[in-house]
Amino acid sequence: MPARTGEQYIQGISKAKNNVWIHGEKVDDVPSHPAFRNIVRSIANLYDLQHEKADKMLYTSEQTGDKVGLSFIAPKTVDDLIRRREMISEWAGYTGGMMGRTPDYLNTSVMAFGTSGNFFAQNDPMFAENARKYYDYCRENDISLTHTLIHPQTNRSKKQSEQKDPYLSARIVEKNKDGIVVKGARLLATLGGVTDEIVVFPSTLNKASSEDDPYAMAFAIPNNTEGLKFLCRESFDTGRSQWDHPLSSRFEESDAIVVFDNVLVPWERVFVSGSSDICNRTYVETNAIVHMAHQVIAKNTVKTEFVLGVILNMMESIGIDVFPHVKEKASEVMLILETMRSHLYRAEHNASIDKYGNMTPDFAPLNAARNWYPKMYQRIVEIVKILGASGLMGIPTEADFNADDIGELVHRYTQGANIDGYERTQLFRLAWDISISTFGGRQALYEYYFFGDPARMSNIYYDQFNKEPYKAMVKDFLQRDESRVLS
């Protein structure tokens, strides 16, 4: 199957009968369940968008000649990187950047793993071939993926091997002729209940020692594999209309604890088995982290554009766009946007071919952006709240506008400077869903921890930064002898 349509995606999820639980109940049919039907429809629309804009979002597979998703491309030129980023931006534009785990995110990492030569062969020769074949399979069948990286928050001061319950975190409990058997739990699979397969990867930040080898693994399996369960958090889609809840009614991604109840992972689906050393080096040495960061920074650039648009419309709607302190706050967001664009431009135009033959973005600007933006997004949301003020609370529902007894009053008393009450309230409900709704709160938390603990990330960034040229610059300045008087 080449690039899928939305209907093909929905049929696949319905047919799979994934073991999904929410609100204490097992879900019979994911696409029709109130907690998932709207996000399923939104993902389906993304797949349909690929076909509507095929010239920008699909490319011809060298393996089959079929049209496949451009997010899967193994880029060979800078133009390939730019085309991929433009495709990513199309999907992000549809969601306003409010879906962090659209399929393109993991497609880039699967590509990096699948084209990374013999990296995984260091653990076992067949694992490199497994990664290559899995990349081909996902690309040619347009597989939607979720993933899980981290262990449960039990006692973060101890290694997994030191926990009271050694089977709390997912670990290898057996290796046999058929594969590895995994038991325990992992966090936090976004879109876990509404995707085709799950990839279990090592953490991008948390490094493990040899004592934790039983917990060190990487593999991919279908979401309906026997013994695999998705325990989803409470849904933030409360069943309200798109008018009342413009974001949560469409883009509530859901997050899940993933439970492996003695799950058998066939050997052909294993990439790493019991090697902390390989896991610690996976993201950096395959360049997966670079390609994933490229997707994320592209998505967050679009997200910033979208929220800036909301801010500017809010300012104009109530006539505060004439005040210096308001313009100053909007300009903060404009500066963030231009900085993100600059990071992307430098990353793409300083790209180079890596040892696997892929055109790989310059990681330095992407790494700076992924450390900086999680904190900036908190400020962007704060600006929405500051400028919205009481307007984020004085937001009637659509039903209020349609009520015979009060509709006229609601229209009259919610009007703006140059906008009627209905349109102004709709705009401010969008700002509310960005900033202070449950959905908005999850967005802020999600962005803050997107790549991991910001403090740990900044420490790693500091440790890996080449500090010597800047120290030498100062030493050279201090040692310069300019005491001679020129005649």
| Residue 125 marked ligand-binding | no
Q: Could you tell me the two tokens for 106? A: 């993991």
**Residue 392 annotated in ligand binding:** no
Cβ contact 405:456 at 8 Å: no
Closest CA to 370 of 431, 291, 305, 308: 291
Greatest C-alpha distance within the chain: 92
Is 237 annotated as ligand-binding?
no
**Binding site annotation covers 453?**
yes
| Angle (nearest 5°) at CA 335 between 332 and 336 | 90
Please check if 154 is assigned to a binding site: yes
Q: Is 105 annotated as a binding residue?
A: yes
**SS3 readout for the chain:** CCCCCHHHHHHHHHHHCCCEEECCEECCCHHHCCCCHHHHHHHHHHHHHHHHCHHHHEEECCCCCCEEEHHHCCCCCHHHHHHHHHHHHHHHHHHCCCCCCCCHHHHHHHHHHHCCCCCHHHCCHHHHHHHHHHHHHHHHHCCCEEEECECCCCCCCCCHHHCCCCCCECEEEEECCCEEEEEEEEEEEECHHHCCEEEECCCCCCCCCHHHHHHCEEEEEECCCCCEEEEECCCCCCCCCCCCCCCHHHHCCCEEEEEEEEEEEEHHHEEEECCHHHHHHHHHHCCHHHHHHHHHHHHHHHHHHHHHHHHHHHHHHCCCCCCHHHHHHHHHHHHHHHHHHHHHHHHHHCCEECCCCCEECCHHHHHHHHHHHHHHHHHHHHHHHHHHHHHHCCCCCHHHHHCCCCHHHHHHHCCCCCCCHHHHHHHHHHHHHHHCCHHHHHHHHHHHCCCCCHHHHHHHHHHHCCCHHHHHHHHHHHHCCCCCCCC
User: Any known ligand binding at 203?
Assistant: yes
Ligand-binding annotation for 33, yes or no, is no
Q: Would the annotation count 31 as a binding residue?
A: no
* 23 annotated to a ligand binding site: no
Q: Which residues have a Cβ under 8 Å from the Cβ of 188 and sit 6 or more positions away?
A: 148, 150, 255, 256, 257
How many residues make up the chain in this entry?
487
Residue 101 marked ligand-binding? yes
Provide the token pair at 118: 């013999």
195 is in an annotated binding site: no
Query: Would you say 190 is a known binding-site residue?
Result: yes
Cβ atoms within 10 Å, residue 445: 11
- Annotated ligand binding at 149? The verdict is yes
Question: Has 148 been labeled as part of a binding site?
Answer: yes
Q: Which residues pair with 187 in a beta bridge?
A: 150
104 is in an annotated binding site: yes
| 102 annotated among ligand-binding-site residues | yes
Contact 221, 198 (CB under 8 A): yes
- Residue 295 is encoded by which pair of tokens? 């997707």
Write out the binding residues for substrate. 101-105, 147, 203-204
Binding residues for FAD: 147-149, 153-156, 190, 453-456
**Binding-site residue ranges:** 101-105, 147-149, 153-156, 190, 203-204, 453-456
